[in-house]
Amino acid sequence: MPLLVKNVRLVDPAQNLDGPGDLLVAEGKVVAIGADAVSHPQAKGAEIVDGGGAVLAPGFVDLHVHFREPGQTRKESIETGSRAAIAGGFTSVCAMANTKPVNDSVAITEMMLTRAAKADLCRYFPIGTVSREMKGEELADMGTLKAAGCVAFSDDGLPISNASLMRRALEYTRWLEVPVVAHEEDRDLAGKGYMHEGAVSASLGCLGIPAAAEEAMVARDIVLAEHTGGHLHLAHLSTKGSMRMVREAKARGLKVTCEVTPHHFALSDKELMKFDSDYKMNPPLRTESDILAVLEAIADGTVDAIATDHAPHGWDDKEVELPIAAFGIIGLETALPLTLELLVNRKVISLSRAVGLLAWEPAKVFHLDHQGLGSLKPGAPADFVLFDPSASVQVDRAFIQSKSYNTPFKGWSLPGKVLGTWVGGKKVWG
């Protein structure tokens, strides 16, 4: 039966839509949108959903999640991670390869896709490793992995320290027409640091990770991207210098894209004064000056996507001393509320731009737009989210659907309640 969603505010940056209208869906695809939906012949006899004036947007696309399967399902499985995704309005996720074993083989890729199909919640796109076993020594069989379903390549969790290997990866993926996703960290500069190196780390007597540890690798890889013509995607950037270099690279026409996370525009390194490991992540929380630079880059179009870097950990990974606690936090359920509160409500960007950074722009970065994802154009898969930007949510254990609960936003009240999520025209949440 066709589905007609009425009485909504349609926001679809791919079509420059932002206004009242309706959406007609049939056989898992968008049939008509806007004023054409109600008058379409297939609207007769359709199931009707009244959106109550809420925002209807394309399903969000997360370029950066860690679902821990195979190997660490006590932290997260593909099923539980997918449930967290749809609860946050994400209908497509791209899963990093640092599982146990890592995703450097067709067997692992196919196993991931089989588990995702069994969960039947959101669209799941594996990311393959750049190097075999993530050792940083020789390239993985990227061509075979792409044919098996990988949409990008990354050793995320570890930087690619070998410049020659990075060069060859960019050259090879240029031919494959997929990006290399870089975790930018000079491990010699980072040393044993576990928070940002600066005034706060000095006052606390904590080992710091300087901004230069990220920026030195960003600079190197932009040079290699220019040399090879490959597509470099820079993950979870966090510093003023990184934003400046990406802006300059884009101005020179290089194939360089980047993402930022909500926690890097929400929190500063001052939070580490609490000695709470839920504020420990890599790259670390930076200074207020860096936050302002990230916000500027979001506003001026330097940033291509908001990604969560959803990194679940159990209590035994986090409820330990700060120096030995695991890096990373969860983020799928809180991404939309934080984006609304800190970017839209504070007039950094419009709601349409926010939806673009969560849906259409990331889909373009990984070429998922070729499958119609990230938009509500007629003929595209009917992946969409209905949310109330004014209704508040309370970040507590009942709100979080992830198997893990390592979030620094516990207790926060934020705007942006997801009322429903649909994938291929099927309601999967709400």
- For the record, the structure tokens of 49 come out as 């959903």
Estimate the share of the chain in helix, then strand, then coil, as percent rounded to the nearest 5: 35, 25, 40
CB atoms within 10 A of CB 20: 13
Q: Which residues contact 120 (CB under 8 A, 6 or more apart)?
A: 428
264 is in an annotated binding site: no
Smallest CA-to-CA distance from 254 within 208, 219, 209 is with 219
Measured CA distances, 137 to 106, 129, 182, 218, 389 (Å): 19, 12, 16, 20, 47
Smallest CA-to-CA distance from 33 within 45, 16, 47 is with 16
66 is in an annotated binding site: yes
CA–CA dist 266, 339 (Å, integer): 9
Task: Report the chain's C-alpha Rg in angstroms.
Answer: 21
CA–CA dist 237, 263 (Å, integer): 11
67 is in an annotated binding site: yes
CA–CA dist 64, 82 (Å, integer): 13
CA–CA dist 328, 140 (Å, integer): 26
327 is in an annotated binding site: yes
CA–CA dist 91, 385 (Å, integer): 8
CA–CA dist 5, 48 (Å, integer): 6
263 is in an annotated binding site: no
Let me know if 91 is exposed, middle or buried by CB neighbors in 10 A (0-12, 13-18, 19+): buried
Catalytic residue status for 309 = yes
Q: What angle do CA 371, 100, 257 make, to 5 degrees?
A: 40
316 is in an annotated binding site: no
Q: Which residue bears the tokens 């990331």?
A: 362
CA–CA dist 148, 129 (Å, integer): 13
CA–CA dist 269, 291 (Å, integer): 10
φ, ψ of residue 193 to 5 degrees: the values are -65, 155
221 is in an annotated binding site: no
98 is in an annotated binding site: yes
- Asked if residues 168 and 139 have their Cβ atoms less than 8 Å apart, the reply is yes
156 is in an annotated binding site: yes
Q: Which one of 22, 221, 304, 309 is the catalytic residue?
A: 309
- For the record, the structure tokens of 394 come out as 């309370």
Which residue ranges are tagged as binding site for substrate?
A: 66-68, 98, 282, 313, 327-328
Residue positions annotated with a catalytic role: 309
Which residue ranges are tagged as binding site for Zn(2+)?
A: 64, 66, 156, 183, 236, 309
Which residue ranges are tagged as binding site?
A: 64, 66-68, 98, 156, 183, 236, 282, 309, 313, 327-328
